[in-house]
Amino acid sequence: MTATPQSSALSRSGSSRIVYLVFWLLGTVLLAIVVLPLLRLALQPSLAGLAAAIDDAEVRQALWLSVAGAFFAALFAALFGIPLAYVLARSKFRGRGLIGAIVDLPLSVPHTVAGIALLMVFGRRGIIGEPADALLGLRFWATLAGIVVAMVFVSAPYTVNSARIGFQSVDPRLEMVARTLGLGPWQVLWRVTLPLAWHGIATGLTLTFARAISEFSAVVILVYYPMTAPVKIYELFLRFGLDEASAAAVLLLALSLGLFVLFRHFAYGTTIAGAGR
């Protein structure tokens, strides 16, 4: 008996549902690994413990330092990483692969190693830290500047890679058409390329901020004090145990999640708005 088109379509539909179900079940395992520890953490501290953590001036200072450091790290990555991403996306030159590998290198370097390397460059006797202190009075230890440097090192690759993918998704013919209409290269970049690549750029900056606010090892080795939130949480754990540390950890988790959702919403909303103009 020859199968009818309807029966073949139903068979394909049933097979698709099975594949979808299997993949959904497999994905649920990963979701459980992510969600269960965070859910257990959120349920650990008491309301009194959370109130005490909120009332602790040192905890509030640490949270503010983490947010401020991550903001400046994302700003630095935008100022210097987006141009590098454009060059990597739009030009072909010898050594481009090497530069791309250098950009990705912090993603594979253990962050304790990154902290030691940063200390040798930006520390009291570092090749940049010592002359910067002597000539400019700029110190990277025990300052926000050091926190930002450590955060930039570990998080900037997200901006460069996402922005590069965003620029590569823009059809160069659209830029050439804009040039034929009389726009200069900077106008084309600002009015055509950047709006079309904005989703990738904004995603990269959001990931950079999220990665920076959570950094511990590089910050604790290069700076240690003033303490960012991850460093303060570790100190609370060593001094007072799990309950004290978990309350501060929940505050950082809630703050990070809220900012991450806000930035993702901003990135998506501005992309849609830009596409509609």
**DSSP string over 203-265:** HHHHHHHHHHHT--HHHHHHT-SSPPHHHHHHHHHHHH-HHHHHHHHHHHHHHHHHHHHHHHH
Question: Which letter does DSSP use for residue 69 in this model?
Answer: H
Phi, psi of 92 (to 5 degrees): -120, 125
- How does pLDDT run across 190-222, given as a tens digit for each residue? 888 888 899 899 999 999 998 999 898 899 999
For 192, which DSSP code? Answer: I
Cβ atoms of 70 and 150 within 8 Å: the answer is no
| Residue the block writes with tokens 């950890």 | 249
- Is residue 106 located within the same domain as residue 176? yes
**What does the buried/exposed string (b/e) look like for 205-241 if buried means 16 or more CB atoms within 10 Å of the residue's CB?**
bbbbbbbbbbbbbbbbbbbeebbbbbbbbbbbbeeee
Residues 177 and 231 in one domain: yes
Rounded to whole angstroms, the Cα distance separating 113 from 115 reads 5
* Same domain for 67 and 12: no
Asked which of 27, 43, 59 is the last residue of a domain, the reply is 43
Q: Which two tokens stand for residue 199?
A: 């989703």
pLDDT value of residue 39: 87
Query: With contact defined as beta carbons under 8 Å apart, do 165 and 87 qualify?
Result: no
Query: Which among 159, 162, 166 is positioned nearest to 75, based on CA atoms?
Result: 159
pLDDT band at 12 (very low <50, low <70, confident <90, very high): low
Which position has the higher pLDDT, 48 or 167? 167
- Mean pLDDT value of segment 13-28: 82
Regarding whether 136 and 209 lie in a shared domain, the answer is: yes
Indicate the number of domains in the chain: 2
The SS3 of residue 116 is: helix
Domain extent, residue 248, equals 46-276
Same domain, 73 and 171: yes
- Say which CATH number the domain at 112 has: 1.10.3720.10
- Express each pLDDT in 70-122 by its tens digit: 999 999 999 999 999 999 988 888 888 898 889 989 988 888 999 999 999 99
Residue 141 confidence (pLDDT) above 80: yes
**Percent of the chain having pLDDT more than 90?**
34
What average pLDDT does the structure give for the chain? Answer: 85
Instruction: Show which of 13, 28, 43 is a domain's final residue.
Output: 43
Count of residues making up the chain: 277
The answer, yes or no, to whether residue 5 has pLDDT greater than 80, is no
Is 58 or 45 the better-scoring residue by pLDDT?
58
Together in a domain, 38 and 50: no
DSSP letter string over 121-163?
A: HHSTTSTTHHHHHHHH----SSSHHHHHHHHHHHHHHHHHHHH
pLDDT score, position 272: 39
Both 117 and 151 in one domain: the answer is: yes
Other beta carbons less than 10 A from residue 140's beta carbon: 25
Statement to judge: residues 18 and 148 lie in one domain? no
Q: How many CA atoms lie within 13 A of 51 on its CB side?
A: 3
Same structural domain for residues 36 and 70?
no
